[in-house]
Amino acid sequence: MRASKLASLPTIKRLPSYLHVIENAAREGRTFISGTMIADELELEPIQVRKDLAITGIVGKPRIGFPVQNLIEAIYGFLHWDTCHRAVIVGAGSLATALMGYPEFPRRGLSIEAAFDTDPAKVGRVINGKPVYHLDKLAERVEKLSASMAILTVPSQSAQDVAEQAIMAGITAIWNFTNVKLKVPPQVIVQKEDLSSGYAVLSVKIRMLNGE
């Protein structure tokens, strides 16, 4: 059992960027990387990087740093990215297309197996090698694919309805790209991705830069 309770949300969110830097180092043939180096690259404090990396259980060598391969494996393990997450995506628009073509996901254990839509113009098409089915086929396909995750890229109005259908079909984790706060049973996990909040931060920074 991993000591996952010890990892805070901010730490978990930073791990992927560490992984990115460490994988670059691996690609360059490095076998060790120091927390200081990672911190420099990402403009963070070295102490924060060390603290965060501690949750992986990998111990570093003073003066030398952390073993790159072990660190990569440990982060994958910690993030559960060494396991395949079979997902379906509902709403086969351009955002779905973007997510289905995102090359990083397959390497990180996320496999988007099929898309669903109600638009007859989209049903039957193939996106990035994966079929687009009518939403009616959701339950049937989720079972056949043994998918446990649903990614929601539908319009806001249908978000709650689609979420309920997905849950009925046996989905236990939802990655929600709509701006709707979904109401789900307690055992279902929802992660909401909110573009507006990123834009809000950017926008406030602009206002402050412009000296108001």
Residues that bind a copy of itself (CB under 8 A): 1-2, 4, 7, 9, 12-17, 20, 41-43, 78-81, 83, 85, 93-95, 97-99, 101-102, 104-105, 108-110, 148-149, 172-173, 175, 179, 181, 187, 189, 191, 193-209, 212
Nearest to 166 by CA among 154, 212, 99: 154
Whether residue 102 contacts residue 92, with contact meaning beta carbons closer than 8 Å, is answered with no
**Minimal distance in Å, beta carbon 14 to a copy of itself?**
7
**Minimal distance in Å, beta carbon 53 to a copy of itself?**
15
The 3 state secondary structure assigned to 35-79 is HHHHHHHHCCCHHHHHHHHHCCCCCCECCCEEEHHHHHHHHHHHH
The item of DNA, a copy of itself, none sharing an interface with residue 145, based on CB under 5 to 8 Å by kind, is: none
Name the token pair of 53: 């990396």
The item of DNA, a copy of itself, none sharing an interface with residue 12, based on CB under 5 to 8 Å by kind, is: a copy of itself
**Minimal distance in Å, beta carbon 69 to a copy of itself?**
20
**Minimal distance in Å, beta carbon 148 to a copy of itself?**
8
Whether residue 97 contacts residue 48, with contact meaning beta carbons closer than 8 Å, is answered with no
40 or 82, CB closer to DNA?
Answer: 40
Q: Is 17 in the site for DNA (CB under 7 A)?
A: no
Evaluated on CA atoms 144, 147, 148, 152, the torsion sign reads negative
Hey, which residues between 19 and 78 contact DNA (CB under 7 A)? 34-37, 44-48, 50-51, 53-54, 58-66
For residue 176, give the DSSP letter: E
Nearest to 88 by CA among 113, 64, 70, 61: 113
Q: From the CB of residue 204, how many other CB atoms can be counted at a distance below 10 Å?
A: 10
17 or 128, CB closer to DNA?
Answer: 17
| Footprint on this chain of DNA (rule: CB under 7 A) | 8-11, 34-37, 44-48, 50-51, 53-54, 58-66
